[in-house]
Structure 1
Amino acid sequence: MTKKLSILVPIYNVAPYLRQCLDSLLAQGLEAGSYEVILIDDGSTDESGEIARAYAEREPHFIYHHKENGGLSSARNAALALASGEYLLHVDSDDWLEEGVLPGLLADAEARRLDLCLIDWADRYPDGTTRPNIDFSALGERIVTGRELIHRHRSYATSWSFIMHRSVVERGRLTFIPIQPGEDVAFFISAMPHCQRIGYYAGAVVYNYRRERPGAITQGPKASKELEAARRLLSWIDETYPYQGKGEDYAALLAPWYDDILADMAMNKIARAGEVKCFAEIMSHFRYRYPSERGARRIAFRLMDYARSSYRLSDLLWSIKRKIR
């Protein structure tokens, strides 16, 4: 039987969480032989490798592969190289899926012949707090192209917040570039020109994202690291999609993303970490990418510029700006 789905799981030092992740994949109710789970052990130094290997020895549709540590992008690319499914789903090894959600998600993607199907997820905090995320719910039942999604919605999808038809990866020769955090943003941006049919799955919250895990890439007092990652990501966009300052080419559609990328990756930490000057320098360097911003969005952006020394106020202004974009 041809595999409908490859689930790609990069693994590095997540022993306390890995069993919950893998058990959630086993609890999907997918037909035997219709899917595979690619486990990439990126040189773990804890028990993660042993746990993953044990699952692969017990479950015939689990495939275990060990490699030297090369970082998250390297692990994701190794998984892509091994995957054979018609659709691809990335799952981080410290997160988990809701029980039994994948059959409905796959059926919806197939019925609508989608290149990419966006999903809802929930942020899960250590104190038990749950915060649902429905960033793409405005799509409703409509089907859009990647260019339309970039232009009108301007919310990027993390690598685990969609399933993608493998033909998109093949057409775009897509790989993950070594920027953490931000490799999934670059992957998403690269994929959009090759997506003609993108839809939103409103059937259920599919994914549970573990917030504030000790040792996670997205945690820690590292505003400088995030700002540098943002700088590298924006420089990559500059080089990959040179901006001419006019027209409706793909580079022009990406222009207003620059302040959003900086906000999402770094704004919530810079005020507390004393990185205001560095943030301002990066913003100044890339400001030419969106010279025509005006109206309420531009006002909110300028207010944020003046108020960025106040974490609570700047965070509120970014929230308002994201709602009105």
Structure 2
Amino acid sequence: MNPLISIVVPVYKVEKYLSDCIGSILLQEYDHLEILLVNDGSPDRCGAICNQFAEEDQRIKVIHKENGGLSDARNAGLRAMAGEYVTFVDSDDTIEENYVSTLVNLAERHQTQIAVTLFRHIKEGEEKTQVEKSEKLEKLLSTNEALETMFYQDLFDNNATGKLYHHSLFKNIEFPKGLLYEDLLTTYKLILLSQNGVAFSGSQNYNYLLREDSIEGSPFSKKKFDSLIYILKDLEEFKSEIPILHKCIECRILSLLFHLFFETEEGSIYEVEIFSLIKKYRVGVLTDRYARKKARIASVISFLGRRPLRIFYKFGKSRN
């Protein structure tokens, strides 16, 4: 029997993108689905759009709730789900027709509780490129291998999306409400619980939309800084529990620090604070031959100071 798959879609201020997102889910070749649209108090027409789709397809259930943020919306979907497995789709993204079937086949074939596929990044306003139909890389990763590749941002990253999870993994785990970058605090804990590691496929069938007005593209804020400090404390504690993973964890921490450093205003207290944290981790990453090349180069340049680091970042962006 084909297991029921729950798809949780948090919805907030995405009126422009929502129909494409839901439409791509309805086109899945795997049709034993439960689609949970969680309207997180969106002030636009999102709630009405969700209701309209629910009237047209009985697999869709709509949850209307007060605004509580992305984590709270995902948690609401988890509490309402009935599927054996669950996957998350952000409401400004789309998925290819084989997204669910690929993940289910991976999990069933390798008898794992987590299966992962790749993102295809699409800049808003640009056409979607064709994906080759040839055979893709597939492998079964042990728990430590999966954590290493995730923290090194090698085969996949810590995003909650692009992954299939057995429902039992969320028995005692929720996404942290009120924090940004919540996936960093959650995905590694789910991997630790997954029986038989993580099944990975190199198929690019999750279309991640790059938007300037997304959380990632929004200006730096106190909430981002407070979330960063919380994440650092959490990952430092985890690092002390599993020393064998300390290098890859430090690499992921430094990548986040660089990412947020370039969002800060030059000369601000946030820039100074984050740069002091960069200095704490840069030597360890610089001497780690498995660390990302960009992180190691940025670590070297950081010894010259904050201004040269910003120049390096702008030069790198101009070459993309």
Pair 1:280-2:275 in alignment: yes
1:184-199, aligned counterparts within 5 Å?
A: 184-195=183-194, 196-199=196-199
Q: Secondary structure at the match of 1:270?
A: coil
Q: Which moved more, 1:219-228 or 1:99-108?
A: 219-228
Residue segments in structure 2 that go unaligned for 5+ positions in a row: none
**Is the 8 Å Cα contact of residues 122 and 209 (structure 1) preserved in structure 2?**
yes
1:1-325, aligned counterparts within 5 Å?
A: 3-31=3-31, 34-128=32-126, 140-152=137-149, 154-155=152-153, 156-170=157-171, 173-195=172-194, 196-202=196-202, 204-214=203-213, 216-222=214-220, 225-238=223-236, 241=238, 243=240, 247-248=243-244, 254-264=249-259, 266-270=260-264, 274=268, 275-283=270-278, 287=281, 294=287, 300=297, 301-306=299-304, 308-310=306-308, 311-314=310-313
**Is the 8 Å Cα contact of residues 2 and 85 (structure 1) preserved in structure 2?**
no
TM-score for the superposition, normalised by structure 2: 0.81
How far is 1:279 from its partner? 1.3
Distance 2:222 2:66 in 1: 27
RMSD over aligned Cα atoms: 3.2
Q: Deviations over 1:127-163 (max 9, x none)?
A: 3065899xxxxx9433122322223552232011211
Distance 1:91-1:291 versus aligned 2 partners, 3 A rule: same
Q: Identity of counterpart residues, as a percentage?
A: 22
Distance 1:16 1:101 in 2: 22
Distance 1:131-1:269 versus aligned 2 partners, 3 A rule: farther
Distance 1:101-1:71 versus aligned 2 partners, 3 A rule: closer
Residue segments in structure 1 that go unaligned for 5+ positions in a row: 134-138, 319-325
How far is 1:180 from its partner? 4.2
Distance 1:130-1:231 versus aligned 2 partners, 3 A rule: farther
**Is the 8 Å Cα contact of residues 10 and 92 (structure 1) preserved in structure 2?**
yes
**Is the 8 Å Cα contact of residues 146 and 198 (structure 1) preserved in structure 2?**
yes
**Is the 8 Å Cα contact of residues 122 and 132 (structure 1) preserved in structure 2?**
no
**Is the 8 Å Cα contact of residues 308 and 314 (structure 1) preserved in structure 2?**
no
Distance 2:117 2:2 in 1: 24
AA aligned to 1:185 is L
Distance 1:210-1:8 versus aligned 2 partners, 3 A rule: same
TM-score for the superposition, normalised by structure 1: 0.80
**Is the 8 Å Cα contact of residues 9 and 36 (structure 2) preserved in structure 1?**
yes
Q: Which moved more, 1:141-150 or 1:43-52?
A: 141-150
Q: Deviations over 1:213-264 (max 9, x none)?
A: 53x22222226553432222112334x53737x943x678634432123234
How far is 1:113 from its partner? 1.3
Distance 1:75-1:128 versus aligned 2 partners, 3 A rule: same
Distance 1:193-1:251 versus aligned 2 partners, 3 A rule: farther
How far is 1:114 from its partner? 2.1
Distance 1:303 1:317 in 2: 13
How far is 1:42 from its partner? 0.7
Q: Secondary structure at the match of 2:62?
A: strand
AA aligned to 2:88 is H
Q: Which moved more, 1:251-260 or 1:87-96?
A: 251-260
AA aligned to 1:178 is K
